[in-house]
Structure 1
Amino acid sequence: MACKRKSFKVDGPLHLTRVDWSNSSHRSSVAACLVEGVYSREEERQQCCHGGDSGGALASSAWWESFGFQLNQVLIDDKDKSIFGAVYELKLWSQAQAQAQAQVEVGKPQPPKLVIAFRGTLIEKRSWLQDFRLDRHIVQNTLHNSNRFLDGL
């Protein structure tokens, strides 16, 4: 089964070799890539668990590793076992490094230490029912009662 998700090597912002955290377009591109990483991980999970070939290293990792992040935690729905989010950490972040850089570049936005990314609704065999149930929570303004909200919190 071929991957339906986007490939970082084809669709990723390859021109963005160095992130300027003061540039809102750069921040938006990185955020979009981290979310795409969640979508890709869920697709890889579905393919691997249901007859697909994972092919060794996960292709989804390019969506976060390209910007110096590592995957710290995968958020998994208890009901359908789908991946709905991820916690990323900047690899080389340290308090001393951040303080030193902040002193040099006062007022310039610093890279985030942690990023929590959530995917949206997927219309895939293994996750659509739970995703639509959660969409109903949004419409009814009861998302705070959902298991994904509590896990994300």
Structure 2
Amino acid sequence: MAMAQQASLSCSTATWRELTNTSWRDDDYRRMVMAYLIEAVYLLELERQERRDAAAVAQQWWKPFQYRLAHELVDDRDGSVFGAIFERDHHADADGRPSPSGAPSAVVAFRGTLLRAPTIRRDVEDELRLLARNSLRGSARLARALQALKATIDRFGSENVCVCGHSLGAGFARQVGRMLTASSPRHPRQHQHQQAAAAAAAASLEFHLFNAPYLSLPMGVRSVVKTADCLLKALRSGAATVGRWHGKALRNVAYANCILGYTRLESSRKL
């Protein structure tokens, strides 16, 4: 608890300028930005449910780090946003702001379970699938997630792409990495070459996983319920009456996400 309070305090007293000037090669900073982008995905879905302009509010979670929302990953069955692709905003560089050194060109981020009526059914279905099988195969969202990751890699190169997720989202991040490695070509003659290329792409990807439920099955369900509830309360408390998000609450929620339960998978580590 003391560690969480200290981390939250240090983050809440930092200014946006101090945060954006911090080197991307600093592991704590990199982890924090990944958490911010995940929180942005949560907010995109929450604002969608409230029928508000989600991007107008959520941009405060990615814009200070010179990113832009390139694409939302949407479940066609209920219209829920379960992930998003963020790309480096080169217009920010043109405005005279220094380009951050070591920042990934693109980030694919996945949110976790939201215990709210519009999305709870689809989220819990995938959550139970992951906890029971340690796999998300069979999920209707999985194909779209994998397609988005492949398209992002094709555009920027796997060494310039990060994948991150919280709770159920960490499961999606891990699963698409596995599938990218195991993807097989249609023509046998091309099998070895394409298999090697897919494995190399997955190996050079950088994964940031927060509160991955498969790491501890007994604690997984309780963690998902507690985390989703806390995030919802914190997000609601961070909203001002005019719909703008209070900076201190925003920073505290994102940094709390960082220290809940974090795993960074390096290229040499198996998914």
Decide whether the 8 Å contact of 1:37 with 1:64 is kept in 2: yes
C-alpha deviation, 1:117, in angstroms:
0.3
Asked whether 1:28 is paired with 2:21, we answer no
Cα distance in structure 1, aligned partners of 2:42 and 2:145: 16
Decide whether the 8 Å contact of 1:35 with 1:117 is kept in 2: yes
Asked whether 1:44 is paired with 2:47, we answer yes
Asked whether 1:16 is paired with 2:19, we answer yes
Gaps of 5+ in 2: 1-11, 92-98, 147-271
Q: Residue type matched to 1:88 in 2?
A: F
Mean Cα deviation higher: 57-66 or 110-119: 57-66
4+ aligned runs moved over 2 Å, structure 1: 12-15, 54-57
Calculate the TM-score normalised by the size of structure 1.
0.73
Cα distance in structure 1, aligned partners of 2:139 and 2:54: 34
C-alpha deviation, 1:76, in angstroms:
0.4
C-alpha deviation, 1:56, in angstroms:
8.7
- Aligned equivalent of 1:98: none
Decide whether the 8 Å contact of 1:38 with 1:86 is kept in 2: yes
- Aligned equivalent of 2:68: 70
C-alpha deviation, 1:142, in angstroms:
3.8
- Aligned equivalent of 2:141: 148
Cα distance change on mapping 1:132 and 1:55 into 2, 3 Å:
closer
Cα distance change on mapping 1:56 and 1:74 into 2, 3 Å:
closer
Calculate the TM-score normalised by the size of structure 2.
0.42
Gaps of 5+ in 1: 1-9, 49-53, 94-100, 102-108
Cα distance in structure 2, aligned partners of 1:33 and 1:19: 15
Q: Residue type matched to 2:130 in 1?
A: I
Instruction: Report sequence identity in percent.
Output: 34
Cα distance in structure 2, aligned partners of 1:47 and 1:25: 33
Structure having the larger proportion of residues in helix: 2
Q: Which has the larger radius of gyration?
A: 2
Cα distance in structure 1, aligned partners of 2:54 and 2:35: 25
